[in-house]
Chains A and B, each alone.
Chain A
Amino acid sequence: MLPDIVAVLLRAAVTTIEITLGGLAVALVLGLLIALLRRSHVRIVAVLGGIYVEVFRCVPVLVQLFIIYFGLGELGLRLAPLTAAILGFGLNGAAYLAEIYRSGIEAVHKGQFEAAAAIGMTRGQAMWWIVLPQAVRIALPPIGNYGVGLLKDSSIAVAVAAPEITFAATNLINETYLSTQIYLVMALIYISMSLPLSYAVRSLEARSSRGRAR
């Protein structure tokens, strides 16, 4: 019995990882775009970027998943559960990552921009070639922490029937009624994925703060 349970849950863990990596990828790209929009000289663009961040951070991700899965379905746009989950976590995560990028960019010394301008780079070139590479390095530990959080939050995707660990566990329980055992195995699987990751992030944090100690 137990080996079967573990096998089913481990197979579902692949979907959990897919949701996490997919959502993270969407959030990384969209979040960078929003962080850059927020720095735009065009007032309305910067304000819209700010509103995006504020709205997506102040509404539970579960509600966002419901809007994307059930709400868009009502309008005729039916997404597969996995797609809806990746999109939902991606759009939500973009708001958090935009803030992480922003503090990374702000942490880069202003002189870097000035020096880049002095050798004739445009503002965009200076951002892309000089500031962003440094900002991303500063932002890596918080991005890692966000990723670990996302791995755990992906359990919420059970609510839109994405076939990840929590969903598989729920189905198993409907068949076997072994709720405590199955949920404990499920917890162990999550822990064995997230703990090594968060140790990795912690050592990254320690390394990057050592590198910048003055």
Chain B
Amino acid sequence: MSGWQGYFSDLWQYLQDWIPELLQAAGNTLKMAVFAFLLAATFGLVIALARLSRSRLVSRTAAVYVELVRGAPALTLLFLIYFGLPSAGIVLPAFQAAVIGLGLNGAAYVSEIYRAGIGGIDRGQREAAQAIGMTYPKVMGYIILPQAARIVLPPLGNYAIGLLKDTSVASLIGAPELTLRARDLSSEYFMPMEIYLVSGAMYFAMAAPLAAIVRWLERRLRRGR
């Protein structure tokens, strides 16, 4: 058997070991991304509303939060939460620390997306709806939110794609996900090229369909206007 044939038959054996492990870790990546997205989407809304607050202190604090968090790398926040908080007596498992770090970081970006959505709707829409006798929930449900969703959905989708890839950074605090599993495997098998290519293909398989959906959404929503 020539060298190449030997290589490929070995690789085929190894792939059968790697792929199930990496797939399982990819499940953790998805879980981390979903939890962090939910945290970012909720807390981001709180920040966006806080920035609209009449209280100067509240809106200023929210604005400072957005600026500071967007000014530093997400990795810094992860390190602070995972390595820094224990000195304050708060010890979190790596997975939770990653979800909280990515979520708090994402909330700053998401709040800006919401702000653009809320600001993108003409005041006259609400006034007109009230003028024809709509109640507040109806104004929100039928007039404001559908239009805001149109503005907000594509950037929110793009944020989700970015988040899915950024979960890889959580491997640097040892959170169990795809990239950490790939790192462990490559120090076990000494075949980093092959292993990272497989893990890269898995990220691609998760992110590319999401990107296609966002593009489709963008086109559809633009057609409506």
Binding site for B on A (CB under 8 A): 54-55, 57-64, 66-67, 70-75, 152-153, 155-156, 158-159, 166, 169, 173, 179-180, 183-184, 186-187, 190-191, 194-195, 198
- Proximity bits, B194-225, A CB within 8 Å = 1, else 0: 00110110011001100100000000000000
Q: Which of B142-177 contact A (CB under 8 A)?
A: 161, 165-169, 171-172
- Proximity bits, B74-92, A CB within 8 Å = 1, else 0: 1111011001110110000
Q: Are A66 and B207 within 8 A (Cβ)?
A: no
A-B contact count (CB 8 A): 123
Q: Which residues in B have their C-beta under 8 angstroms from that of A184?
A: 80, 84
> B191: CB under 8 A from chain A?
yes
Q: Are B80 and A183 within 8 A (Cβ)?
A: yes
Q: Are A155 and B193 within 8 A (Cβ)?
A: no
Binds A, one of B13-21, B64-72, B131-139: B64-72
Q: Are A186 and B197 within 8 A (Cβ)?
A: no
Contact A186 to B76, CB < 8 A, known contacts A60-B203, A180-B87: yes
Contact A59 to B200, CB < 8 A, known contacts A72-B193, A159-B172, A183-B79: yes
Task: Tell me the minimal C-beta distance from B16 to chain A in angstroms.
Answer: 20
Q: Which residues in A have their C-beta under 8 angstroms from that of B80?
A: 180, 183-184, 187
Main secondary structure of the interface of B (DSSP, over half): helix
Q: Are A74 and B203 within 8 A (Cβ)?
A: no
Give 4 nearest A-B pairs by CB, closest first: A71-B193, A70-B192, A191-B71, A60-B168
Task: Report the bound CA distance from A169 to B85 in whole Å.
Answer: 16
Q: Are A62 and B171 within 8 A (Cβ)?
A: yes
Q: Are B172 and A158 within 8 A (Cβ)?
A: yes
Q: Are A190 and B179 within 8 A (Cβ)?
A: no
Contact A74 to B190, CB < 8 A, known contacts A58-B207, A67-B196, A67-B197: yes
Q: Which residues in A have their C-beta under 8 angstroms from that of B168?
A: 60, 62-63
Q: Considering the complex, give the chain A residue whose CB is closest to the CB of B165.
A: A60
Task: Report the bound CA distance from A75 to B190 in whole Å.
Answer: 11
Task: Report the bound CA distance from A114 to B186 in whole Å.
Answer: 55
Interface centre among A58, A190, A195 (most CB of B within 10 A): A58
Q: Which residues in A have their C-beta under 8 angstroms from that of B199?
A: 63
Task: Tell me the minimal C-beta distance from B217 to chain A in angstroms.
Answer: 17
Contact A59 to B84, CB < 8 A, known contacts A71-B193, A155-B73, A183-B76: no
Q: Are A64 and B200 within 8 A (Cβ)?
A: yes
Q: Which residues in B have their C-beta under 8 angstroms from that of A74?
A: 190-193
